[in-house]
Amino acid sequence: MFKKITTPLDEQLIQELKAGDRVLISGIIYAARDAAHKKMTDALAAGEDLPFDINGQVIYYAGPCPPKPGMVAGPFGPTTSGRMDRYTPALLDQGLKGMIGKGLRDAAVIDGMRKHKAVYFAAIGGIGALIASTIKSLRTVAYEELGAEALVELQVEDFPAIVAIDCTGRDLYDSEPPKYIGKFEECINEEKVLL
């Protein structure tokens, strides 16, 4: 069962979300990859404002592919979140409340999530076309010169994700793999018996 949630995220909702919850996100989210994150953190270091109000917002670690006729966006799958880890604590300090991507986060990011009550959602790699179908509008907010790595505002409806790390620091990437150690070998052995 999926929980339907709406952006921007407030602290009460964030505290209700637990690692392992499946969600459908609707509202505005922002898409940005490495180059846009570098520009944002450079701006903060220079005492400048960010190009959007980050309070309560969610950033999706992704860049769009060109759309087919009649589509708002082309396939829009997640990129590896760890590439943003060096930039994320500064954005959490500014009020970022959610991130969507794939893969592990480092200890500094998880500490920042605990401190600022934020959540990390995992998007499923390989379903970029399905994700694109949840995007109802797309507009470039800043850094247009970066092309597919520009900062983009997305209006989404029922964007599917899983709470991978909740605001207490509970992390599916830590808790789930041990449950499956040895399962692959068991399946192989069962297959051999059946043959």
- pLDDT at site 127: 77
- pLDDT at site 36: 97
Q: What Cα–Cα distance (Å) separates residue 27 from each residue in 51, 138, 156, 171, 188? A: 19, 12, 5, 25, 44
| Residues assigned a catalytic role | 37
- pLDDT at site 175: 84
Tell me the pTM. Answer: 0.90
Each residue's pLDDT expressed in tens, for the chain with a length of 195 residues: 899 999 999 999 999 999 999 999 999 999 999 999 999 999 999 999 999 999 999 999 998 888 888 889 888 889 999 999 999 999 999 999 999 999 999 999 999 999 999 999 999 877 788 898 999 999 999 999 999 899 999 999 999 999 999 999 999 988 887 776 766 666 666 655 555
- pLDDT at site 62: 95
- pLDDT at site 181: 72
- pLDDT at site 191: 57
Assigned CATH for 2-194: 3.20.130.10
| Domain residue limits, the chain | 2-194
Query: ω into residue 8 within 30 of 0, thus cis?
Result: yes
Helix (H, G, I), strand (E, B) or coil at 42: helix
